[in-house]
Chains A and B, each alone.
Chain A
Amino acid sequence: MKTSIGQKIKIGVFTMVGILIFIAGIFFIGSQKNMFSNTYMIYGVFSNVGGLNVGNNVRFAGINVGTVEDIRIISDTLIRVEMNMKENVRPFLKVDVVATIGGDGLMGDKLVTITSGSPNETKLLTGGSRIMTVDPIDYDKVIAKFTSVADHADVIMRELAGMAIQIREGNGTISKLLYTDDLSRSLEGTALNAEKITGSFADIAAHIRAGRGSLGSLVYTDSLANGLDRVVASANTTMGTIDKTLGNVDETLGTIDEAAYGFSENMKALHGNYFLRGYFKRKAAEEAELVKAGKDLTAEENSHDSGLTEEDLKEIIAEAQELLEAKKKGKAVK
Chain B
Amino acid sequence: MIIKTPDILTRQFIATGNQVVFMGSFFRNIFRSGFEWNELIRQSYLVGYKSISLVGITGFVLGFVLTLQSEPTMKEFGAVSYVPSMVAISVIREIGPVIIALICAGKVASGIGAELGSMKVSEQIDAMEVSGANPIQYLVVTRILACTLMIPLLTLMADGLALLGGFVASNINNSMTFGMYFNKAFSSLAFSDLFPAVIKTIFFGFAIGFVGCYKGYNSDRGTESVGLAANSAVVSASLWIILLDAIAVQLTSVFAYN
Q: Which positions in A face B, CB cutoff 8 Å?
A: 1-3, 7-8, 10-11, 14-15, 17-19, 21-22, 24-26, 28-33, 55, 107
A28–B178 CA distance with the chains assembled, in angstroms: 14
Q: Mark B147-178, 1 if CB is under 8 A from A, else 0.
A: 00100111011011000000000000000000
CB closest residue in chain A, given B182: A28
| A29 contacts B194, C-beta separation under 8 Å | yes
Check A8/B191 contact, CB under 8 A, given A14-B48, A14-B52, A15-B153: no
- In the complex, number of A-B residue pairs with CB atoms less than 8 Å apart: 75
Q: Looking at the assembled complex, report how far the CB atom of A178 sits from the nearest CB atom of chain B, in whole angstroms.
A: 46
Determine whether B187 belongs to the interface, using a CB cutoff of 8 Å to chain A: yes
CA distance A55 to B45 in the complex (A): 40
CB contact between B186 and one of A2, A22, A32 (< 8 Å): that residue: A32
Q: Which of under 10, 10 to 19, 20 to 34, or 35 or more describes the interface residues of B?
A: 20 to 34
Contact call A10/B45, Cβ cutoff below 8 A = yes
Check A55/B49 contact, CB under 8 A, given A1-B42, A22-B156, A22-B198: no
A11 touches B52 (CB 8 A): no
> Does B220 reach chain A (CB closer than 8 Å)?
no
Given contacts A15-B48, A32-B186, contact A21 B194 (CB under 8 A): no
Cβ-defined partner of A29 (8 Å) among B39, B41, B45, B191: B191
The 8 Å CB contact of B157, one of A10, A17, A31, is: A17
Give 25 CB contacts A-B under 8 Å: A1-B42, A3-B38, A3-B41, A8-B45, A11-B49, A14-B48, A14-B153, A15-B48, A15-B153, A18-B48, A18-B152, A18-B153, A21-B160, A24-B160, A25-B159, A26-B191, A26-B194, A28-B186, A29-B191, A30-B191, A32-B186, A32-B187, A32-B189, A55-B190, A107-B82
**Assuming the A-B contacts A28-B182, A29-B194, A30-B191, are A7 and B156 also in contact, with contact meaning beta carbons closer than 8 angstroms in the complex?**
no
Known: A14-B48, A29-B186. 4 other contacts (CB 8 A): A11-B48, A14-B153, A18-B157, A29-B191
Q: Which 5 A-B pairs have the closest CB atoms?
A: A18-B153, A3-B42, A28-B186, A11-B45, A21-B156
Using A25-B194, A29-B186 as known contacts, say yes or no to A7 and B42 having CB atoms under 8 A apart.
yes
- Chain B residues positioned under 8 Å from A33 (CB to CB): 190-191
Given the complex, which residues of A lie within 8 Å of B77, measured CB to CB?
107
Taken together as a complex, chains A and B put the C-alpha atoms of A8 and B48 apart, in Å, by 12
Closest A residue by C-beta to B186:
A28
Q: Determine the distance from Cα of A68 to Cα of B79 in the docked complex, in whole angstroms.
A: 25
Q: Taking the nearest CB of chain A, how far is it from the CB of B59, in angstroms?
A: 11
**Using Cβ atoms and an 8 Å threshold, which residues of chain B touch A107?**
77, 79, 82
* A2-B38, A28-B186 known; A10 vs B153 contact (CB < 8 Å): no
B219 on the A face (CB < 8 A): no
Q: B15 → chain A, closest Cβ, in Å?
A: 31
Per a CB cutoff under 8 Å, which of B45, B48, B191, B194 touches A3?
B45
Instruction: Provide the residues of chain A in CB contact with B45, threshold 8 Å.
Output: 3, 7-8, 10-11
Give the residues in chain A near B191, CB-CB below 8 Å. 26, 29-30, 33
**Whole-angstrom distance between the Cβ of B65 and the nearest chain A Cβ:** 21
- In the complex, whether B29 has a CB less than 8 A from a CB of chain A is no
Write the nearest CB–CB distance from A211 to chain B, whole angstroms: 85
State the Cβ distance, B255 to closest chain A Cβ, in Å.
15
| Inter-chain contacts of A1 with B (CB < 8 A) | 39, 42
**Minimum C-beta distance from A156 to chain B (A):** 35
Cβ-defined partner of A19 (8 Å) among B52, B79, B92, B153: B153
Task: Check B44 for interface membership: any CB of A closer than 8 A.
Answer: yes
CA distance A32 to B44 in the complex (A): 34
List, in ascending order, chain B residues with CB within 8 A of A31's CB: 186
State which residues 177-197 of B face A: CB under 8 Å: 182, 186-187, 189-191, 193-194
Name the residue on B nearest A22 (C-beta). B156
Output the nearest chain A residue to B156 by Cβ-Cβ distance.
A21
Least distance between A263 CB and chain B CB atoms (Å): 135
Q: How far is the CB of B93 from chain A (nearest CB, A)?
A: 12
Give the chain B neighbours of A55 by CB distance below 8 A. 190
With beta carbons under 8 angstroms apart, the residue of B44, B92, B189 that contacts A11 is B44
Least CB distance from B55 to A in Å reads 11
Q: A207 → chain B, closest Cβ, in Å?
A: 81
Interface residues of B in 35-56 (CB under 8 A from A): 38-39, 41-42, 44-45, 48-49, 52
Among B41, B153, B154, the residue within 8 A (CB) of A7 is B41
> How many Å lie between the Cα of A75 and that of B154 in the bound state?
49
